[in-house]
Amino acid sequence: MIIQLTQGQVALVDDEDAELVGKYKWHAQWNESTSNFYAITTIRKPVGGRRQTGLSMHRLLMGQPAGLEVDHIISMATLDNRRCNLRIVTRGQNQQNSIVCASNTSGVLGVYWHKASEKWLAQICVDGKVKYLGTFSDFQDAVEARNAGKLKYHTF
């Protein structure tokens, strides 16, 4: 089902979630840190009825157990709130699904040019710590090392 949002955006939800989502008025909110839109509704806190807070559609649909997060499996599809694109994860697991930062010159997450050695460096973050995967003369070798590291350390 398609849910119309503001700013010319639309969100996708499963047909069985239409009734729950239909109880709220949704808008598209831009998130600078992820460079994506999210479907958000504004709700009033019960105490006094004046305090407002935002609730994202994906969190409403999945709930959010304490200490965990709701992740979009396809990180760039943040308005696809069908359950097949959502999962409950730890913060570390959610960060594994991150995109390449604009400042990354290689275009590959975890692969960087190391000026001092004049080689490509591959690394990966595991449990909040950077794990060195090696330095390589060939860019493609560094990419393959990073991909192998992702398979080894980020499977869940």
Q: What is the mean pLDDT of residues 95-109?
A: 69
Q: Which two tokens stand for residue 15?
A: 């047909």
Q: What pLDDT, on the 0 to 100 scale, is given for residue 92? A: 73
Q: How far is CA 4 from CA 43, 80, 143, 146, in A?
A: 18, 12, 39, 39
Q: What angle do CA 120, 143, 113 make, to 5 degrees?
A: 20
Number of Cβ within 10 Å of residue 3's Cβ equals: 19
Q: What pLDDT, on the 0 to 100 scale, is given for residue 30? A: 92
Q: What pLDDT, on the 0 to 100 scale, is given for residue 138? A: 94
Q: Which two tokens stand for residue 7?
A: 């700013």
Q: How far is CA 118 from CA 88, 115, 135, 139, in A?
A: 41, 5, 9, 11
State pLDDT tens for residues 45-85.
Answer: 766 656 678 899 999 999 878 889 898 887 678 999 999 99
Q: Write phi, then psi, for 40 (nearest 5 degrees).
A: -130, 145
Q: What pLDDT, on the 0 to 100 scale, is given for residue 101? A: 63
**For domain 100-153, which CATH number applies: 3.30.160, 3.30.730, 2.60.40, 1.10.1740?**
3.30.730
Alpha helices in the chain (DSSP H): 18-21, 57-62, 91-96, 139-153
State pLDDT tens for residues 108-154.
Answer: 888 989 889 999 999 888 776 888 999 999 999 999 998 888 888 87
Q: What pLDDT, on the 0 to 100 scale, is given for residue 99? A: 62
State pLDDT tens for residues 12-52.
Answer: 999 999 999 999 999 999 988 777 899 999 987 766 656 67
Q: What pLDDT, on the 0 to 100 scale, is given for residue 133? A: 94
Distance CA 64, CA 57 (A): 11
Distance CA 45, CA 53 (A): 7
Distance CA 38, CA 81 (A): 10
The domains of the chain are located at: 2-95, 100-153
pTM attached to this predicted model = 0.65
Q: What pLDDT, on the 0 to 100 scale, is given for residue 54? A: 87
Q: What pLDDT, on the 0 to 100 scale, is given for residue 5? A: 96
